[in-house]
Every structure is written in structure tokens, then in C-alpha cells.
């Protein structure tokens, strides 16, 4: 019987570096229980928050420029993800929609936003049909989706901004949606036991959802009276609605990514994935927040 060869030395399968590489140089932070690199996620989140707050403090148009840039990047990320499954939304109409819809909403209001979306669809059809009819219906569907999500829905942030007290309305919106995410993340990590939609997003729990609603409602109850002279209970309702729609936005994005076979829309933001992975909850919650604020605190 031949001698048994000695066992091969264990190698670090978590890295593609050679075994002789310095472990200290190749070590990566351990992911948190929720699956994120927490330090990177917090750092990027603070940078994004500073960008939003700084642009609001500078000028409304500075925030509008940040919003348009976010719509362009988000739409492009989603376009590339769709292209991976053979859905080729025309590039130029996608960029035009990401610019035109938020800007038109800011300048012309709700009617302008709706009309601009209609014109974008007309332009999308003409642009795509000019390249031939083969696969046109499929590509037009992808293009219409990109014009709606994120560009059209993102236009409601422009409607918030266009109000005379638009800066404060934007701050209220950002506060309730961001703290919804924080509440859901923290409570989900610490207490999450019962999945909401295991086939779509296994890590999202009912306990996390309760944390989202609770913290967002609390922040809304505090922020609305201070910033917009609303009533505390109106702020609580606003926070609860923002948390619910933000959660739906998260689940919708997760469903899209699952259908497309991708984990993240891109790797643009360390610890977060793509910009659309951060915008998903904001995009779906901005329209109901705009409507509720218009009802609770009519324009001066």
C-alpha cells in the first residue's frame, strides 16, 4: 500500500490573492449580521448625507443638480442591469428622461411632470423604432420603466423642492425616510426573527418593519412641528406612510434584482452596492410624502 501523502496546507478561499500574500494586507472587514460592510456603509452614508445637506444649504438649484445627477446614475445602473437580460433601453432617451423630468417638475409643477413623461415616451418610441422593429416592444418596455423609475417618481422630489419652503420639506422627507432605514436595519439585526418576504428579501423581517415605522413616526412627529409648523400626529402619520412605502420600495428593488439575477445594481458605493440600492426606498416614498405634506401643510 502506498504512503498517504501529507495534507495540503489550508488556503484562504475568501481571497483571490496568492497564499504568500501578507494576511494583514488582504484582510477585509467582517460583514455585519445584516450582510453589509458596516464601516464602509456608514462612511458612504455620511458622505451622501453631507452632499444632500450641503447642497440644500447652498441653494435650491444646487440640490436640483444633485438630484438630476442621482437620477442619471440610477437610471444608467438599472439600464445596464436590464441589458444583462437582453432588455436594451435606448441610451439617449434614458439620459434625457433623467434630466428633463426632475427639471420640468421643478419649473412647471405636477402638470409639467406628467406632460414631460408623455413626451419622453413619444420620443422613446420614435428613437427605438428608427432602429427597426425587431425586439422593439421589449426594449420600449424597458425604456418606459426607466422613464418611470427612477426619473418620473424622482420628479416628486423636485415638486417638494419647488415649494417656497421647499428646503424644509426636503429635509423632512429625508429625515423620515433615512430614519425608517435606520430603524429597520437596527431592529432587524438585533431582533429580526420573522421574515416578511423570504422569497424576495430573506433578511427583511417584520420586527425590522416595526422598527422602521416606529422610528420614522417618532422622527416625523418631532420634525414636522419644528420645520413646517405641522401637528405632531400629522408628522407621525407621515413617518408611518414613509416607512411603509420605503419598505415596499426595498422589496420591489429586491424583486427586480432577483429577476435580473444580480445582487446589487452596481459596485459604485462600498458597503451599499449601487446608487439605486440606496435610492429604492426614497424613490417610492417621495410621491406619498409630497402629497401628505401638501395636505397637512398647504403651500404658503
Task: Tell me, yes or no, whether 26 lies in a domain.
Answer: no
Q: In whole numbers, what is the pLDDT of the chain averaged over residues?
A: 86
Q: Assign 3-class secondary structure to the chain.
A: CCCCCCCCCCCCCCCCCCCCCCHHHHCCCCCCCCCCCHHHHHHHHHHHHHHHHHHHHHCHHHHHHHHHHHHHHHHHHHHHHHHCCCCCCCHHHHHHHHHHHHHHHHHHHHHHHHHHHHHHHHHHHHHHHCCCCCCHHHHHHHHHHHHHHHHHHHHHHHHHHHCCCHHHHHHHHHHHHHHHHHHHHHHHHHHCCCEEECCCEEEEEHHHHHHHHHHHHHHHHHHHHHHHCCCHHHHHHHHHHHHHHHHHHHHHHHHHHHHHCCCCCCCCECCCECHHHHHHHHHHHHHHHHHHHHHHCCCC
pLDDT tens, position by position, 112-161: 999 999 999 999 999 999 988 888 999 999 999 999 999 999 999 999 99
Residues 193 and 243 in one domain: yes
The domain of 287 spans 165-300
Single residue among 127, 144, 162 that ends a domain in this structure: 162
Single residue among 162, 185, 220 that ends a domain in this structure: 162
The pTM of this model reads: 0.83
pLDDT tens, position by position, 179-197: 998 898 889 889 988 999 8
Residues 155 and 189 in one domain: no
Amino acid at each position: 500500500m502506498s504512503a498517504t501523502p501529507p495534507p495540503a496546507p489550508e488556503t484562504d478561499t475568501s481571497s483571490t490573492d496568492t497564499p504568500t500574500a501578507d494576511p494583514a494586507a488582504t484582510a477585509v472587514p467582517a460583514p455585519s449580521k445584516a450582510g453589509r460592510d458596516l464601516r464602509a456603509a456608514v462612511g458612504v452614508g455620511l458622505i451622501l448625507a453631507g452632499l444632500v445637506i450641503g447642497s440644500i444649504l447652498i441653494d435650491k438649484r444646487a440640490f436640483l443638480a444633485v438630484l438630476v445627477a442621482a437620477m442619471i446614475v440610477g437610471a444608467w445602473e438599472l439600464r445596464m442591469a436590464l441589458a444583462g437580460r437582453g432588455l436594451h433601453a435606448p441610451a439617449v432617451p434614458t439620459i434625457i428622461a433623467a434630466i428633463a423630468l426632475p427639471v420640468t417638475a421643478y419649473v412647471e409643477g405636477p402638470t409639467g411632470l406628467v406632460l414631460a413623461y408623455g413626451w419622453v415616451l413619444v420620443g422613446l418610441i420614435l428613437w427605438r423604432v428608427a432602429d427597426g422593429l425587431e425586439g422593439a416592444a421589449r426594449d420600449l418596455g424597458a425604456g418606459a420603466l426607466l422613464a418611470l423609475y427612477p426619473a418620473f417618481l424622482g420628479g416628486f422630489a423636485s415638486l417638494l423642492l419647488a415649494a417656497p419652503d421647499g428646503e424644509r420639506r426636503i429635509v423632512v422627507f429625508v429625515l423620515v425616510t433615512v430614519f425608517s432605514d435606520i430603524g429597520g436595519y437596527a431592529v432587524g439585526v438585533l431582533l429580526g426573527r420573522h421574515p416578511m418576504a423570504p422569497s424576495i428579501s430573506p433578511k427583511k423581517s417584520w420586527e425590522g418593519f416595526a422598527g422602521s415605522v416606529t422610528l420614522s413616526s417618532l422622527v416625523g412627529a418631532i420634525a414636522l412641528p419644528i420645520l413646517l409648523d405641522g401637528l405632531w400626529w400629522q408628522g407621525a402619520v407621515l413617518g408611518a406612510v414613509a416607512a411603509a412605502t420605503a419598505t415596499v420600495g426595498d422589496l420591489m428593488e429586491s424583486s427586480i434584482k432577483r429577476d435580473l439575477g444580480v445582487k446589487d445594481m452596481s459596485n459604485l458605493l462600498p458597503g451599499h452596492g449601487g446608487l439605486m440600492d440606496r435610492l429604492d426606498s426614497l424613490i417610492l416614498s417621495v410621491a406619498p410624502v409630497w402629497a401628505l405634506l401638501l395636505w397637512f401643510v398647504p403651500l404658503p
